[in-house]
Amino acid sequence: MARDALVAGIDVGTTKICTIIAAQQTDGRLEIVGVGLTPSAGLKRGVIVDREDAIAAIRSSVELAQGQAGVELTSAWVGVTGAHISSVNVTGRTNVAPGPAVCEEDLARAVQSARDAVPLPQDREIIHEVVRGFAVDGETGISRPVGMSGRRLDVELHAVTGTASIVENVERCVADAGVAVARRALEPIATGTAVITDAERDLGVILIDVGGGTSDVAVFLGGSIAHTSAIPVGGNHVTRDLARLLRVSFDEAEKLKCRYGRALPESVNRDESVQVQLADGSESEHVPLHLVAEIIEPRLEEIFSLVRGNIVRSGVYEQASAGVVLSGGGSQLPDTAGLASRVLDGLPVRVGSPRGVYGPIEAASNPIYATGIGLAILAAREGATAVDRPAGRPTVLDRIRDWWERVLPRA
Ligand SMILES: Nc1ncnc2c1ncn2[C@@H]1O[C@H](COP(=O)(O)OP(=O)(O)OP(=O)(O)O)[C@@H](O)[C@H]1O
Ligand SMILES: [Mg+2]
């Protein structure tokens, strides 16, 4: 296998760190050759709270993946998310410079004028941007206008803003764990890349990635990203509810949830129960599984209704005709899709797993790997390499090329 055919993504999550190393095959598919899944540390809701712990956790995830792939990573795409992010669609406009056709400088000016329209309070910056499309002399839906005749160029830009320091801290931890950050991507956009079909993206689809500390949302319309956000509630809240109400430790509640939990109490047999160890260690108790589901249901309902409210406010809720795709560890409880559909006005809901990749069955089918795989797919699309380029400052040429790749439509 050629070494320069390798790409990598690192998903720095609240509950787990997932490093994916993948090899690009000649048929265009990606083969997963290294997976490093380790428990996360030093992070809360996507924010670094203990640098040393976070660096150690990232390092062990990277080492695991490297060991499997038999290579040493020098760079990777890294996912960013957290409740601090918000998104906006803006437009930019420029007059095409005199000449035979629209040129790249015209695009750059149009994109810059769209960026200038993004409201940016102090401390916030654009952390991810996607060009949704161009219009030449009012003719919309143009993806690559360079070379076309025209006088006026408009651009529609999806800009995700976030707290600069939060994003920088995640990236510095990855760099200090020994891997250069080739590029960052918003996690729900990466996840969507892995689990959503082109047809769904065209029709209009809602992606909900229920993680540990946050639930990330991305809405795709007409083939492009239309809305992104993150809700500060996730699967860990479900576990904490179980722990508090049943008086068991967080670990015991997590085991109970993953082994016996269901999202809808009506599908649980009323006679079934399970023995749990109480937090004080003194006794164990029989807990009806119906009660477990009754505790889980309202928290998941809350997550999906917060997501619903968020998308309704963004104005795109009605347009998601292909329905909803769920991802993330928090979407794995049986009946979660049914419950989500109930809250989301009967929209069709499916649990998505990574597509267009092959490799270890577990990684290629389980939604908890979807973000890491999506990051690797994004890296592959942009011709990134994970092992050959020495870690270090990119050249001016690299930066110009990176900028172009970043602003051209693809999400
Ligand atoms: N089999 C399972 N059944 C139910 N829940 C599960 C299962 N496996 C994992 N989870 C839950 O999924 C959550 C973690 O999901 P995931 O790994 O996608 O999060 P993360 O990416 O680390 O977090 P975040 O995206 O919030 O930073 C935890 O709350 C965990 O309890
Ligand atoms: Mg996640």
pLDDT tens digits for range 89-117: 999 999 998 888 999 999 999 999 999 99
Among the listed residues 208, 383, 389, 401, the one whose alpha carbon sits nearest the alpha carbon of residue 310: 208
State if residue 236 touches ligand 1 by the CB under 6 angstroms criterion.
Answer: yes
- Tokens at residue 89, please? 């669609």
State if residue 188 touches ligand 1 by the CB under 6 angstroms criterion.
Answer: no
Please count the residues of the chain: 411
CATH 3.30.1490.110 in the chain, residues? 86-163
- The residue ranges of the chain whose pLDDT is under 70 are 1-4, 361-363, 384-411
State if residue 15 touches ligand 1 by the CB under 6 angstroms criterion.
Answer: yes
* CA of 215, nearest ligand number: 1
Phi first, then psi, for residue 362 (nearest 5°) are -55, -50
- The CATH number assigned to the domain with range 235-291 reads 3.90.640.10
Position 359 scores a pLDDT of: 80
Q: Does pTM top 0.85 for this prediction?
A: yes
State if residue 330 touches ligand 1 by the CB under 6 angstroms criterion.
Answer: yes
CATH 3.30.420.40 in the chain, residues? 3-83+164-195+355-407, 198-234+298-351
Reported as type and span, the H/E element at residue 241 is: helix 235-246
Residue 45's CB is within 10 A of a number of other CB atoms, namely 19
Rounded Cα gap, residues 382 and 114, in angstroms:
23
CATH 3.30.420.40 fits 198-234+298-351, yes or no: yes
CATH 3.90.640.10 in the chain, residues? 235-291
Distance, C-alpha 303 to centroid of its chain: 17
Q: How far is CA 103 from CA 45, 97, 145, 233, in A?
A: 42, 8, 8, 45
To test the pocket of ligand 1, the residue of 10, 332, 351, 373 to mutate (highest count of ligand atoms within 8 Å of its CB) is 332
Atom of ligand 1 nearest to the CA of 14: 27
State if residue 212 touches ligand 1 by the CB under 6 angstroms criterion.
Answer: yes
To test the pocket of ligand 1, the residue of 368, 371, 373, 375 to mutate (highest count of ligand atoms within 8 Å of its CB) is 368
State if residue 82 touches ligand 1 by the CB under 6 angstroms criterion.
Answer: no
- How far does residue 63's CA lie from ligand 1's centre (Å)? 22
CATH architecture, domain defined by 3-83+164-195+355-407: 2-Layer Sandwich (3.30)
Instruction: Return the residue whose CA atom lies nearest to atom 25 of ligand 1.
Output: 211
Q: Which fold has domain 86-163?
A: Dna Ligase; domain 1 (3.30.1490)
Q: Are 204 and 220 in contact (CB under 8 A)?
A: yes
State if residue 16 touches ligand 1 by the CB under 6 angstroms criterion.
Answer: yes
Rounded Cα gap, residues 262 and 273, in angstroms:
13
State if residue 46 touches ligand 1 by the CB under 6 angstroms criterion.
Answer: yes
- Tokens at residue 194, please? 């892995």
Position 385 scores a pLDDT of: 67
Which residues 6+ apart lie within 8 Å of 126 measured at CB? 115, 118, 120, 159, 160, 161
Instruction: Return the residue whose CA atom lies nearest to atom 2 of ligand 1.
Output: 258
